[in-house]
Amino acid sequence: ESPLSMKADFLLSLCELVVGGRDGLQPIEKTVIDRCVRLVYREQALGLENTKTPLLQDLYEELLRQPEPEARRVATALELYCTGSLNLFNHPTNIKTDNRVVCIVLKNMGENLRKIAMHITNEFVSQAVDTNFREGVATWCYFDEFHVLLRDPLTASYFVAVWKMLRKKGCVPSALTQNVKVRPDRALCKAV
């Protein structure tokens, strides 16, 4: 897959998490999001040097420029995470992502941000493992409090896909939990 289509897939699933509701994103909403992702990441896709990494704010602003009412609906849902009180991830990362060991702690994060944080963390891990795989570097990933990842069906299914990709790319993932209520016979646990 191309990096642009992978980024579009990630942002579609993130918007699904934020906007989707019971019925999920509608086809027009998905199309508008995809169009905006391509516009926002155009310079990076062209390989232009010195391009800044787009933020969620850039997608939000591009959605506001679109003529469809569906674009405004998605932008309005993203507003809380871009200009609202939950804008924690609308900034360049403060994590030193090029360190040999990277630890991302989601403890004490409110429930509204936790799902998004887990989703963004999964994306970061996927990118790091992909980079290491291309460079022939082995990667070990430890997911503590694993049962939290299985609470939400969308996050759980996305995590299962990430888990399979990690193993395919030579990563050694480990899922840790102290919650004995997570039954190993559940379909998602079996998939992992």
**For position 136, what pLDDT does the model report?**
93
Read off the pTM. 0.79
52 & 125 share domain? no
Best CA proximity match to 74, nearest among 157, 155, 11: 11
Select the more confidently predicted residue: 140 or 151. 140
Instruction: Name the H helices within 27-68.
Output: 27-40, 42-45, 56-65
Please provide the size of the chain in residues. Answer: 192
The answer to whether the Cα torsion of 17, 20, 163, 128 is positive or negative is negative
Dist CA 170 CA 172 (whole Å): 7
Q: Which of 22-36, 61-75, 77-91, 173-187 has the lowest mean pLDDT?
A: 173-187
Domain end (from 39, 68, 92): 92
134 & 192 share domain? yes
Q: 160 CB contacts (<8 Å, ≥6 apart)?
A: 188, 191, 192
Q: 159 CB contacts (<8 Å, ≥6 apart)?
A: 118, 122, 149, 150, 192
Domain membership of residue 152 as a residue range: 94-192
77 & 53 share domain? yes
Amino acid at 39: L
**For position 183, what pLDDT does the model report?**
56
Q: What percent of the chain has pLDDT over 90?
A: 30
What would the pLDDT profile of 157-192 be if each residue is shown by its tens digit?
777 888 888 889 989 988 888 776 655 556 656 666
Tally of domains in the chain: 2
CATH of the domain at 5: 1.10.8.730
Dist CA 15 CA 77 (whole Å): 8
30 & 9 share domain? yes
